[in-house]
Every structure is written in C-alpha cells, then in structure tokens.
Amino acid sequence: MALRLIADFDLEKDVLPWLRVQQAASAAAGARGGGPGVLENNYECLRVLNVEQNRNIIYTYKDNKGNVFFGLYDYQTKQNEHLYTFEKDLQVVSCSVNREKTLLATSLVQAAKEGRSNELQPGSKCLTLLVEIHPINNVKVLKAVDSYIWVQFLYPHVESRPQPENHLLLLSEEKYIEQFHIQVVQEDGNRVVIKNSGHLPRERIAEDFVWAQWDMSEQRLYYIDLKKSRSVLKCIQFYADEHFNLMFEAPLDISLSDSGFKLVNFGYSDLQDQEELSEHLTLCVFTNHTGSLCVCYCPNFDSWEQITYSVFYFHKGHSKTFTTTLGSVDSRVTKGITFLNLDYYVAVYLPGHFFHLLNIQHPDLICHSLFLTENSEVIDMLPHSPLQSLSGSLVLDSCSGKLYRAFLNQSYLLEFLWNSRLDCERMALLHCVLSCGRDPRRLEAKIIQWISENISACHSFDLIQEFIIASSYWSIYPETSNMDKLLPYSSLLTWDTEIPGITLVTEEIPLPLMKVHSFKGYWEKLNSNLEYVKYSKPHLHYNNSVVRREWHSLISEEKTGKRRSTVYVRNILDNAIKVISNLEAKNLEPRLTPLFQEEDNHQQLLIGLMVSELRDHLLRHLQGVEKKKIEQMVLDYVSKLLDLICQILEASWRKHNLHPWALHFNRQASAAEFAVFHIMTRILEATNTLFLPLPPGFHTLHVILGVRCLPLHNLLHYIDHGVLLLTEAAVTRLMKDLDNTEKNEKLKFSIIVRLPPLTGQKICRLWDHPVSSNIISRNHVKRLLQNYNKQPWSSVMDKSSFSVEFLPLNYFIHILTDIESSNPALYAFEGHDNVDAKFVEEAALKHTAMLLGL
C-alpha cells in the first residue's frame, strides 16, 4: 500500500509475554506460601495510556478484582517494568511519568457501579494524583473535582543528569490549563521524595480554550481560545528550564463555539464520555523541520455523500478546501476522517473510500498532491481502525495497541507510477517518489526506465523536463530549507486540468502573528517562511533567462571575431571544468555513451554561465550560509542536471544494446539507433525550452545518429530548424569517414554550406574534392579582394604564363597574382595551407569540369 506502517511497539508481542511471566511467578510465590498472586489473568483490558517524549509507553490493565496495574515499556532497552498498582476498581482518564521514572501522575474516576460512591475522595468525580514511585512511597492529591483532568509531564531536552524540578501540565474539562512545579530530593540513597509536597507552586497557562494538542517531541502546546466568537490558534513552547513562551497567534476561519471540548495527543482513554467528546470535529496541527505549519480541519459531516476538509498552509499564506465525493457508502465507514503527518506530506483518508497525499512543501499546484478514490485498490489496504498521528512519523493505533513508524511506500508508489493513466497522478507520484529520498541512484534508474516506456504518454507536461528539474531540486534540497524559495521544483507554472472527483477552493489567510523576537531552530525557519510570504513577491525562483541572453551574446561575439575579455571567458570555462570534474568524481562507472570526450566550447560556455548566475542568485538570497558551501551546492546542482541527462541516454543505450560500431557510417541504421535518436531529440527539446546545458559531446552524437537514421531532406530540415546542431567534431567525422560517392558528396556539400564561415574553412581542407577546393578558393578570393583598389586597365598581358585560353579566368588570376606579389603578408594568416592564385585557377577549372560532366 502507499502508506507503509512499521510496528515499533505491539502490546501483544512486547508486553503480554512479560505480563504472563510476572503472573506465573506471582502465582508460584503464592503457592510456596509467599502470599497470594497480586494479578490475575485478565488481559482483555490491556491498553496503551500514553506515549512520552522519549517514546516510553505507559500501559494499563485490570485484574479480575478491578485492581489497576500501570506498566512502562522502555523504548531504548525494550524492557518492561511495573510502575504502580491501585488496589481499587477505578478507570484511568490520563497518565504520565517523568523522565527519571520517579513520579507518576494520573487522573482516575470511580468505576460506574450503582450505589457505590467514590471511595478515594467522596463528593468528587475525578481524582488527580501524584505518586512517588522510586521507591513506592507517597500519594499526593493534586485535584479532586467533578470534571475530567488530563496530565502530562514536560520533558526537558537534556538527559545528562536528573532534574531537581519537574513540571506537570494539568488540563481541565472546565477549559483551563495549569502548570505544577514539583521539586524532588533524594533521601536514604536513591529514595526520591517530593519536596514541600503540602504546597506545590503552580501557574495558570491558559483559560477558556476549546481545543488543545500536545506535541510530545518538540514540547509544544497548541490550543484554541475564542475571542468574540473568533477562533484563535496559539502555541506555547516549553523549554528545558521552567520558562515558556507564547510563540504565535493565528486566526482560524472555522467555527468552534458549539463544538464542545476536544484534546489531541493527551493520552488515550476509553471512557464513554471521552468517546462522545471525540465525535466532534477533527482538527490537528502538523509541523516539520522545514518550518511548515499546517492546520488540518474537518467539520462534522452533514451527509456521507461528500466530505469537505480544509488545510491551512500558514507557511504559504493560503488555505485549500477540498471536497471529495464518496459515492456509495457502506458499513466500512469509520468514525471519521484521519489526518497523518508524513514529513513533506499530510495523508488524509477515510478507509474504504479515499486516500489523499497533500504536498505541504509545494501546495500551490494541485497536481503535486495525489488523490486516490475508491476505485483504487490502495484504499482497501489501509487500516480501518482510527489512527492517531503523534510527533514526527509516529502513528498510534490505540485499538490494537500498536505504535507504528509511518512512511510512504516507495516500492508501491513506483509500481503505481507504472500503472497510472492520469497526468495528475503521474505528476504527483513522480514528486512523491523523489521526496522519499532513499537510494536515489536506484530510484532514478527506475523512473528513467518508466520515462523511456512512456515518453509520449503525458500531454499536460514534459516528462523529461519534470524529472530533471524535480530530481535536481530534491538532490540539493536538504542542504538548506530555503531552497524551495530559490530553486525551481517543477517545470510547470500553472495547472488548469481538473482532478477527477475533487473540488478545490483556495483562499488567502491572515499570517500568524509571532509574539517573540528571538528565534531558533524550527521557529527561525517558520518566521523566515512568513517573511517570505509577506515581502517576496514575485517568486525568487532561479531561471535561465540571464544565462540565455549572455550565452547568445558570447556566441554572436564569437561569430564576428569580437570576443570580450579573455579573462572573463576563461573564468566561465573554468566553471564548466569544475562541474565536469565534480561530475566525473561522483560517477566512477565507465560510460557507455561517448560523452565528455571532446571540447564542446558552446556547451561549456553554457555550463559555466549557469554556474556563475546560479551562484550569484544564491549568494544574494541565502543569508548566513558560507560562500564556499554555496559554491559547492551550485557545482552539485549543475552536475546533477548533466548527470540526469547522461543517465537517461545511458539507459536508452543499454536498453537497445548499442555498441560503438553504431557510430560508423558503413552500416544501415537499425531500429535501436532510431529509438536512441528519438530519445535524444526529446532530451534536446526538453532542455532547449528550459535553456539547460547538455553534456559536451551530446550534439556530436546526435548529429552522427541523425546522419545514419534520417533521409537527406529530413536531415537538412532538422539542421535548418536547429534540432541538429553541427559541431566541428561531428562534421570532421563525416568528412573523414564518408567516401566520395554521389550520395555522400551531396551530403557533404549540403552540410559544408550550412557551417559558420570560420568552421567551414577548417572543414573544407579535410575534404579533397573540387567542391571543397571551390569553397576554399572563394574564401581566399573574398579575403584578397576585401580592400582591393581597382587599377587602370592594361591591354598588355603576358600570355606565356597562362596555360588555358580562357580570358575571363586569365584576367581574374592576373589580378590575384598582382595582389599576392604586392602583399606577401597575406600568406601569414593561420590555416592558409598554400592557397594562392594558382590554386584558385585549378579549383575553378576542376569545378567547371565537374559541373559540365567532363
């Protein structure tokens, strides 16, 4: 299934065997006269009570007499231990233990039996107790009230030494939150007791709240209070010492005034009253390490025909409300919708009906989120029991007593990618798989294989473009959380196609108001995201527009021979050399394709310019990051772009089993070479649109395959429209390897006349043919006559020096001879190769004879 759940803890496997051993030992001790067994075998009521910040799990069960047993499973040691036993018939509302496992806080209510009063505290409904359990010594009553109380110890982020003071949160059904400060001292060795237990300092944290959520991992308390019937989300951050801060206030456009009272992640009670409380709205807050802040909200269902839920992306400044049609409703419908935090995604599902993966890093385009309906088999593979999302990737199934680590199932998503038929699903799955980040080389190979089979399947976006941009982005994204603002993560700017079965409404929302001025860690990243939403419009995503202009400028200068400073060009080419060296250092496997084997000056200029512009872009906008680190990030990013292109080409080469002889001109082109030529053309189309560099040697290989695969008129059409770019290396191969048959002569001439003048002059000297000689002669004559001043006519000509009676040619050669004899410096230019008037005369006669068929 798309969601992979790996069990970290299972009551039945991790606790029950130990309890049975304990019960057997107790029974044996009783048989030997050591006293009766404390616990009897009644494990049906065994259940999880709470999961603490260090992942220690508190559980409970009752014996046949109603005695309440508290146990703890240590996540680090995988060992169980007994915490405490109440020899009363009670029901547990809430429970928590401190980090040192010396204090146990719990709220209890009397078991519901007619004619039986509360034996612990007459006149009260709920009793909140603080118990010394190291060793078991004393019980202190914190609250004895008629409303339910929930308890939670704070866990400071320091574990080096026992804490002299513990902090305990109490949340009351009467809608207030208090914090108790409990000092402990050691007596008689390791005996820990509460200091001044008669008077424990306490303070009021919040009042008049209607909803609260505990983040055990980050020690944060989220709660909502009502101000003039307006819902305001607040967050309190607790620190290692006793102080805490109200971090932000955020207005929510939802109505909670008549929704009762709801707690999230404050233990797991099975009281009937609590079940009634939990049937109201579903609302939870999710964050991750990148500074995202999402509030997921689903109101009470008016009907089961369709379900509406909203996600407030506070780190992006907008909310999205999704409406999905359920279709048929059957008995498998559970109590309500489930939200799960999966790092870069939020999973939203109703077992048996739908499963949605919402992209919270890039929620702007709906196609970056995956929407699966009841037509997909993935729906039936999800757990049907309610799941509770804890901090990080932890998920608790309180019904089965299992604690899971939740992941996106990369293998399943890849398989689903192969079978998907909708562009929106392909887009979402591609990004989803890449974000998983495990074994990227293998993952990229799998995606490339899929692309090669579906190269023309997508109509809404270019598969190669999207893969190159997205994979390059995810390869460097972990370096800094601000990359999503500075680098493109998709080739698309908009998406207008509807998602089947989904209606979406997007609205701007007020940003949270930060209440502190000094930020660290997550809060610094969240504040950075909020500042970006406020002030950074339009988006700061890098694009190659500047590179495009500069590259065309350099190429134009090259054609006119007016190249700017050689130092500037040298620096650009040095950037390219660094990228290629970086790429080759990371790729130790030999390449099948002949890339990076020639000096492709144009592509090296493009590579170097992209490095220069991208480095400047990141230096402008990445504050507080070392210049050396940014430079390495840029090299890695551009190297990744080139490497992905190489991987696509290598995979195609390998798939079609091509060999080096595929590049020889003495064989007929095969179907495999046609396929490789086609994929290269698609790569070229994808990179040209985004103006991305190609590996040096790509154009040469493309031209050679084009000559082998295309008829001459198609080949010339591709060349004239810029699909095939003639490189000096490719044309040199043609001139040397092709013989002078009539067909090849026509091909060579057609290509030579399409070359830039400077390149054409070099190539012509490699072809011993009248056409080549004619072109060389023309260029020589053009050079000689550029500044020629016409001399007075002389009727006297020394005919003895001319062997052919062809007066126009004789006169022309006489003029060239005079110019050459009067200016010997003309022979000093590079590549002259003894071209003179005599050579021009012979070339003209040979070419004339060839044209006349003589």
Per residue in 583-642, pLDDT (tens digit) is: 998 887 788 888 888 888 899 999 999 999 999 999 998 888 899 999 999 999 999 999
In a domain, 492, yes or no: no
With respect to residue 147, please indicate whether it lies within any of the assigned structural domains.
Answer: no
Of 311-325, 411-425, 455-469, 784-798, which range is least confident?
784-798
Residue 318 within any structural domain of the chain = no
> Total domain count for the chain?
1
Rounded Cα–Cα distance for residues 475 and 349 (Å): 29
Query: DSSP for 473-534?
Result: HHHHGGG-TTHHHHS---S-S---SPPTTEEEEEEE-PPPEE--S---THHHHHHHHHHHHH
Among residues 427, 415, 383, 420, which one has the least CA distance to residue 402?
Answer: 383
Cα dist from 67 to 10, 306, 381, whole Å: 23, 46, 39
pLDDT tens per residue across span 27-50: 777 655 444 444 455 677 899 999
Which residue would you say has higher pLDDT here, 632 or 329?
632
Q: By the 8 A CB rule, do 283 and 262 touch?
A: yes
According to DSSP, the residues that pair with 94 across neighbouring strands are 107
CA atoms of 234 and 221, how far apart (whole Å): 8
What percent of the chain has a predicted confidence (pLDDT) above 70?
79
As a whole number, mean pLDDT of residues 53-69 equals 88
Residue in the structure block whose two tokens are 């109201």: 280
Q: Is residue 37 part of a domain?
A: no
pLDDT score, position 60: 92
Q: Is the pLDDT of residue 4 over 90?
A: no
d(CA 537, CA 664): 54
Query: Is residue 273's pLDDT more than 50?
Result: no
Amino acid at 144: A
CB 483 within 8 A of CB 541: no
Over residues 508-523, mean pLDDT: 92
Helices (H), 223-371: 272-278
Give the model's confidence band at 108: pLDDT under 50 very low, under 70 low, under 90 confident, else very high.
Answer: very high
Cα–Cα distance for residue pair 183/166, rounded to 1 Å: 6
Q: Which letter, b or e, does each residue of 190-221 get, where b requires 16 or more Cβ atoms within 10 Å of its Cβ?
A: eebbbeeeeebeeeebbeebbbbbbbbbbbbb
Mean pLDDT of 494-510: 92
pLDDT above 90 coverage of the chain, percent: 46
Phi, psi of 739 (to 5 degrees): -80, 180
Radius of gyration for the chain, computed over Cα atoms and rounded to the nearest angstrom: 39
Gap between the Cα atoms of 554 and 565, Å rounded: 11
Angstrom distance (rounded) from CA 461 to CA 451: 13
Separation of alpha carbons 821 and 832, rounded Å: 16
Q: Which residue type occupies 587?
A: N
On whether residue 218 sits in a domain, the answer given is no
Beta-bridge partners for 171 = 150, 177
Q: Is 490 among the domain residues?
A: no
| pLDDT mean across residues, the chain | 83
Q: Where are the alpha helices (DSSP H) in 622-741?
A: 627-655, 671-690, 698-709, 712-720, 728-737
429 touches 416 (CB < 8 A): yes
Alpha helix segments (H runs only) across 691-741: 698-709, 712-720, 728-737
150-208: per-residue pLDDT in tens? 999 999 766 556 667 899 999 999 999 999 999 888 877 678 888 887 889 999 999 98
Residue type, 638: V
* Cα pseudo-dihedral 258, 261, 264, 266, rounded to 10: 180
Cα(407)–Cα(519) distance, integer angstroms: 30
Type and span of the H or E element at 604: helix 601-621
Domain interval for residue 820:
774-854
Confidence of residue 736 (pLDDT cuts 50, 70, 90): confident
Label the pairing between strands 318-325 and 502-508.
antiparallel
Dist CA 251 CA 228 (whole Å):
12
Check residue 88 and give its pLDDT. Answer: 83
Residue indicated by tokens 């220690």:
56
Band (809; pLDDT cuts 50, 70, 90): low
Q: Is the pLDDT of residue 786 over 70?
A: no
| Tens digit of each residue's pLDDT (9 = 90 or more) over 813-830 | 666 666 666 666 555 444
What are 128's strand-pairing partners?
107, 143
**What is the reported pLDDT for 593?**
86
Confidence of residue 803 (pLDDT cuts 50, 70, 90): low
CB atoms within 10 A of CB 423: 17
Q: Cβ atoms within 10 A of the Cβ of 19, count? A: 20
Residue 835 lies in a domain: yes
List the single range of 110-114, 349-353, 849-853 with lowest mean pLDDT. 110-114
Whether 450 is covered by a domain: the verdict is no
- For residues 853 and 414, which has the higher predicted lDDT (pLDDT)? 414
Asked if the model's pLDDT at residue 276 lies above 50, the reply is no
